[in-house]
Amino acid sequence: MITGGLGFIGSNLARQLVELGAEVLLVDSLIPDYGGNLFNIDGVADRLHVNIADIRQQSTMNYLVRDRSVIFNLAGQVSHIDSMRDPYSDLEINCRSQLTVLEACRNNNPDVKVVFAGTRQVYGRPDSLPVSESHLVRPTDVNGINKAAGEYYHLVYNNVFGVRACSLRLTNVYGPRQLIKHNRQGFIGWFIRLAIEDGQIEIYGDGSQLRDFVYVDDAADAFLRAGADDACNGEVFNVGGEMPHSLRELTTLLVEIAGSGRAKYVPWPADKKAIDIGSFYADSAKFTGATGWTPTVSLRDGLRQTVTFYRQHYRHYVDASRTLEPA
């Protein structure tokens, strides 16, 4: 079962599971602006099951978790900006909903394995680079605090109740099927949209900040490995890119691949600067040692595949009546 299964990472993970012959159930509430999109399962919809449901509903989850071997728990609110504007909704979705899933498992399927989608945002501004799992957890925004709590719930249920669980702290995941309707769920999807629309990509500061990027197929592979390996139980793991790139390098490469778009460097808005963490890239050696996982898709190849996908399926990911057509 995949919660948030009609979203970006969930739908790409579902495609890999279907190809492996798994029986797959997707659970998604399809809350507007959160990334769920029925087109994300185009071509495989007849090979899996979909339940439109809110994972905060305890009775629903009590039923859905039964007889599942692995639950990939990807449902969540991921916008840092939205979490600061509406902290109560972020609390509901990223904390209470995680307890709902875990309680359903404890009482109805205690033998299940749960893999939680964590985030590098829990670290806050790094003391040193690359960041390993031993770095202090000190988030800079409400979303990071609630995601950290959601992660710790999973570890407690593993350690106290025996519900096998682990968390993958993802860095900047990108690729096909990512939400690009607005810019509040990560900058890279928005940059890609602006590039294919031949728009102006605004970069805060001078573009020297470093980030690591993980192509979504590599992220899905990480979830599969964590779900299959009990060596991961009770642990947190970084899942980061092969190497860091500056935002200047990223946009230069993106514009080159797209053959459209342009970059503009602008001053930081005060609200975004207040929660920015500076340069960040992760050390994924712990997860590689436990599972053998390594990223296989380069940034160039990943961007090429992503730009091609959105040019082919643009109308399914934007409100075409209010936007430019792709270049």
pLDDT higher than 50, residue 68: yes
pLDDT, tens digit (0-9, with 9 covering 90-100), for 9-66: 999 999 999 999 999 999 999 988 788 999 999 999 999 999 999 999 999 999 999 9
pLDDT, tens digit (0-9, with 9 covering 90-100), for 173-202: 999 999 999 887 779 999 999 999 999 999
Beta strands in the chain (DSSP E): 2-3, 25-28, 49-52, 70-73, 113-119, 164-170, 172-174, 200-204, 210-215, 236-239, 244-246, 262-266
pLDDT higher than 50, residue 284: yes
Is 187-211+242-280+297-322 CATH 3.90.25.10? yes
Q: Give the mean pLDDT of 255-264.
A: 97
pLDDT higher than 70, residue 87: yes
Q: Which CATH class is domain 2-174+213-239?
A: alpha beta
Name the token pair of 94. 């990223």
Q: Give the mean pLDDT of 268-290.
A: 90
Q: pTM for the whole thing?
A: 0.94
Query: d(Cα 59, Cα 107) in Å, to the nearest integer?
Result: 11
Share of the chain above pLDDT 90, in %: 83
pLDDT higher than 90, residue 312: yes
Categorise residue 28: left if φ over 0, alpha if ψ from -120 to 50, beta otherwise.
beta
Note whether 2-174+213-239 and 187-211+242-280+297-322 share their fold.
no
Of 162-166, 226-230, 274-278, 307-311, the one with minimum mean pLDDT is 274-278
Q: Give the mean pLDDT of 277-287.
A: 95
Please report, for the chain, the start and end positions of each structural domain, with discontinuous segments joined by +: 2-174+213-239, 187-211+242-280+297-322
pLDDT higher than 70, residue 324: no
At 326, the pLDDT band (50, 70, 90 cuts) reads low
- When the pLDDT of each residue in the chain is averaged and rounded to a whole number, the result is 94
At 321, the pLDDT band (50, 70, 90 cuts) reads very low
Q: Is the dihedral of CA 214, 203, 33, 39 positive or negative?
A: negative
Q: Give the mean pLDDT of 101-118.
A: 98
Q: Give the mean pLDDT of 163-177.
A: 97
Count how many residues are written for the chain. Answer: 327
pLDDT of residue 325: 53
